[in-house]
Amino acid sequence: MTDTIKHHLTDDLLMGYAAGALPEAFSLVVAAHVSMCDECRARLWAFDTLGGALLEGASPDGMSQDSLGQTLARIKSNPEAGPTAPEPRVITTGVFPAPLRDYVGGDLEDVRWRPVGMGVKQAILPTVRSATARLLYIPAGAAVPDHGHRGTELTLVLQGAFSDETDHFGAGDIEVANEDLNHTPVAGIEADCICLAATDAPLRFNSLIPRLAQPFLRI
């Protein structure tokens, strides 16, 4: 699959993942894509290597006697502290890459879908509230309502394909959308499209019915 991937992660996202600075939902999408993409896996390894070299060359700072106690207190005072970033492990069977299988507890057949409308279904994954991760099922040939973004949205194609005003995205491709993009994703006619998406702010729908349903669907 990696030879057919045309849309990759940005350097900022890879560096943020390597530094542990991304929200959990974004880290999940990055880890899933890296598990599918040799190019981004190599770039992530390079950033990890660079970060390690910088740490080795840094001058040590002195620590107070109560450093451990202060650290534990900060952890305890942050109830939204989630698990560490998912590891971008590689698997060769099934639809879902290994990091996503860990969240779902299996593969595509284990997802508990909920209808969104027009045949589209979603499954929200358990992550901390700073960003939301969801699986999307879009029937072949169906469209997601046209919308813009109030923040960043990462969309990784796991099966099938979709097209929008910017390009065509097949399995393994990732689209990085921000406030500048308004689009209407349409699934390819060859197969149902399965995507993993993460957002750090609600979408901005352009029509009334999706806006009314938005609070209930947590989109």
What is the Cα–Cα distance from 64 to 11, expressed in whole angstroms?
35
Burial 59-82 (b: 16+ CB within 10 A, else e): eeeeeeeeeeeeeeeeeeeeeeee
Global confidence as pTM? 0.81
- Residue 211 CB neighbour total at 10 angstroms: 15
Residues 50 and 132 in one domain: no
Indicate the length of the chain as a whole number. Answer: 219
41 and 113: one domain? no
* 106 plus 198 within the same structural domain: yes
- Residue 88 maps to a domain: no
Question: How confident is the model over 83-111, as a mean pLDDT?
Answer: 83
User: Which pLDDT score, from 0 to 100, does residue 61 have?
Assistant: 62
Q: Are residues 36 and 143 in the same domain?
A: no
| Residue found by looking up tokens 């560490």 in the block | 84
Residue 168 domain flag? yes
Evaluate if residue 40 carries a pLDDT over 80: yes
Domain boundary at 76, 93, 127, which?
A: 76
**125, part of any domain:** yes
E strand intervals along 25-184: 114-117, 120-125, 132-138, 147-149, 153-159, 161-163, 168-170, 174-177
- Residue 151: its pLDDT value, please? 93
Q: Are residues 207 and 133 in the same domain?
A: yes
Are 67 and 116 within one domain? no
Question: Is the pLDDT confidence value at 62 over 90?
Answer: no
In a domain, 96, yes or no: no
What CATH number is given to the structural domain containing 161?
Answer: 2.60.120.10
Residue 1 has pLDDT above 70, yes or no: no
Whether residue 111 sits in one domain with residue 41: no
Specify whether 33 is located in the same domain as 106: no
Taking residues 6-17, report their average pLDDT.
96
- Considering the domain architecture, whether residues 119 and 205 belong to the same structural domain is answered as yes
The predicted structure's pLDDT at residue 167:
96
* Residue-averaged pLDDT of the chain: 85
Range of the domain at 190: 102-217
Q: Are residues 125 and 65 in the same domain?
A: no
Do residue 123 and residue 50 come from a single domain? no
- Checking if the pLDDT of 44 tops 70, the result is yes
Token reading at 206: 């352009």
What CATH number is attached to the domain comprising 23?
Answer: 1.10.10.1320
Q: Judge whether 91 lies within some domain.
A: no
Q: How far is the C-alpha of 152 from the C-alpha of 179, rounded, in Å?
A: 7
Q: In whole angstroms, how large is the CA radius of gyration of the chain?
A: 19
| pLDDT at residue 72, rounded to an integer | 62
Q: Is 54 inside a domain boundary?
A: yes
DSSP annotation of 189: S
